[in-house]
């Protein structure tokens, strides 16, 4: 059993394409991956997953093999996409997330807003900030009641800032602080707007 | 919240190793150990697993 600080042991983390924490990997004795558990779980559900993996059940490979039969079920598609994402297989993940988007425009599965947010994050990692902002905007436009709504606004502001559209980003941060004054990120958003004001005064960005 | 969740994971992890190395039919009678000797080096853990033939539970965490 090994505990590694992923921020320090970046070589090993990169080797297993670990993208979020905590990630608990179940490996064969030679270090090859059986599967992984991503995020926090209560002990029992956590153990169920580890036991499954040790027995070769419910691995990504076996889950992916169900796609021809289960591929029309949005719930299945969302979970498959997420598992690919957890494995750092972004192209495979993106393909399934996009399928989910077309399959479930009403978001009956309640996975589509999360899917869009993950698509935005993947675009951000790939430095495609225009696409990042587009996915965030889709959450804002389509799913205003989503619990990802506020995160999507901040994601869009961040994307615009990285794209050097500083004035637009500043407007969004200011608006956020005004609309959600009691939100835990309101003060942070105001700070971002102030920082951007200084940058804009110095002639940075558009 | 984070700390207690991690503790829970630690216990779960200890139990996992017990299961992995114990006989399947005895797993419900095997007491979980009180503490875990975690490797902090990937290479050392890999070498140990090679010797003992046990699977590896690898926990990527951060100090955030």
Q: What's the distance, CA A9 to chain centroid?
A: 22
pLDDT in tens, B31-56: 767 788 889 999 999 999 999 999 99
Estimate the crossing angle of helix A149-162 against helix A112-125, to 10 degrees: 20
pLDDT recorded at residue B1: 39
Residue A12: band (very low, low, confident or very high) from pLDDT cuts 50, 70, 90: very high
Pick A81 or A203 by higher pLDDT.
A81
pLDDT recorded at residue B63: 81
Residues A156 and A136: beta-carbon distance below 8 Å: yes
Question: What are φ and ψ of residue A128, in 5° steps?
Answer: -95, 80
* pTM for this prediction: 0.78
Q: Enumerate the residues of chain B whose CB falls inside 8 A of the CB of residue A19.
A: none
Q: Mutating which of A3, A12, A18 best tests the B interface, going by the most B Cβ atoms within 10 A?
A: A3
Q: What is the rounded average pLDDT for all residues in chain A? A: 95
Contacts of residue A79, Cβ cutoff 8 Å, sequence gap at least 6: A63, A111
Rounded to an integer, the average pLDDT of A41-49 is: 95
pLDDT recorded at residue B35: 80
Estimate the crossing angle of helix A149-162 against helix A166-179, to 10 degrees: 160
Pick A91 or B64 by higher pLDDT.
A91
Q: Is the pLDDT of residue B22 over 50?
A: no
Question: A17 CB near a chain B CB, below 8 Å?
Answer: no
Distance from CA of B18 to the nearest CA of A (A): 11
| CB nearest to B61's CB, from A1, A6, A42 | A6
Q: Enumerate the residues of chain B whose CB falls inside 8 A of the CB of residue A30.
A: 46, 49-50
Q: Enumerate the residues of chain B whose CB falls inside 8 A of the CB of residue A46.
A: 8-9, 12
Number of residues written out for chain B: 64
Tokens 């102030």 locate to: A194
pLDDT recorded at residue A158: 98
**Buried (b) or exposed (e) across A10-27, using 16+ Cβ within 10 A?**
eebbeebebbebbbbbbb
If one counts every other C-beta atom within 10 angstroms of the C-beta of residue A72, the result is 11
Cα–Cα distance between A148 and A103 in angstroms, integer?
20
Tell if the CB–CB gap between A3 and B11 is shorter than 8 Å. no
Question: What are φ and ψ of residue B56, in 5° steps?
Answer: -115, 135
User: How is B33-60 classified by DSSP, letter by letter?
Assistant: PSS---BS-HHHHHHHHHHH---EEEEE
Distances (CA, A) of A77 to A80, A89, A90, A101: 5, 15, 15, 10
Which secondary-structure segment (H or E) carries A3?
Answer: strand A2-5
pLDDT in tens, A147-189: 999 999 999 999 999 999 999 999 999 999 999 999 999 999 9
Q: Is the pLDDT of residue A123 over 90?
A: yes
Helix (H, G, I), strand (E, B) or coil at A23: strand
pLDDT recorded at residue A204: 85
Rounded to an integer, the average pLDDT of B53-60 is: 95
Q: Enumerate the residues of chain A whose CB falls inside 8 A of the CB of residue B45.
A: 1-2
Residue B62: band (very low, low, confident or very high) from pLDDT cuts 50, 70, 90: confident
* In chain A, domain spans: 1-57
pLDDT recorded at residue B28: 52
pLDDT recorded at residue B6: 42
Tell if the CB–CB gap between A12 and B42 is shorter than 8 Å. yes
pLDDT recorded at residue B30: 64
Residues A156 and A187: beta-carbon distance below 8 Å: no
How is residue A198 written in tokens? Answer: 């200084």
If one counts every other C-beta atom within 10 angstroms of the C-beta of residue A180, the result is 14
Question: Which of A83-87, A94-98, A135-139, B4-8 shows the lowest per-residue confidence on average (mean pLDDT)?
Answer: B4-8
């Amino acid at each position: 059993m090994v505990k590694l600080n992923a921020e320090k042991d970046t070589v090993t983390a990169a080797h297993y394409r670990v993208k979020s924490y905590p990630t608990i990997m179940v490996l064969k004795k030679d270090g090859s991956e059986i599967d992984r558990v991503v995020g926090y779980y209560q002990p029992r559900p956590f153990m169920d997953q580890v036991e499954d993996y040790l027995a070769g059940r419910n691995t990504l490979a076996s889950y992916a093999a169900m796609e021809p039969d289960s591929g029309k079920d949005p719930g299945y598609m969302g979970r498959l996409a997420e598992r690919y994402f957890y494995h750092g297989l972004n192209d495979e993940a993106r393909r399934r997330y996009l399928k989910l988007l077309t399959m479930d425009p009403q978001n009956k599965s309640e996975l589509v807003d999360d899917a869009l947010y993950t698509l935005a994050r993947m675009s951000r990692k790939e430095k495609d900030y225009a696409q990042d902002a587009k996915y965030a905007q889709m959450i804002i436009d389509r799913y205003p009641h989503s619990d990802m709504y506020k995160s999507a606004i901040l994601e869009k502001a961040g994307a615009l800032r990285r794209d050097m559209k500083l004035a637009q980003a500043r407007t969004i941060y200011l608006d956020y602080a005004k609309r959600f004054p009691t939100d835990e990120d309101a003060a942070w958003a105001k700070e971002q707007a102030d920082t951007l004001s200084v940058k804009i005064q110095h002639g940075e960005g558009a | 919240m984070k700390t207690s969740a991690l503790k829970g994971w630690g216990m779960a992890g200890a139990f996992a190793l017990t299961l992995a190395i114990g006989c399947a039919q005895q797993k419900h009678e095997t007491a979980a150990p009180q503490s875990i000797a975690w490797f902090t080096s990937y290479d050392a853990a890999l070498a140990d697993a090679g010797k003992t033939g046990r699977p590896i539970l690898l926990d990527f965490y951060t100090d955030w």
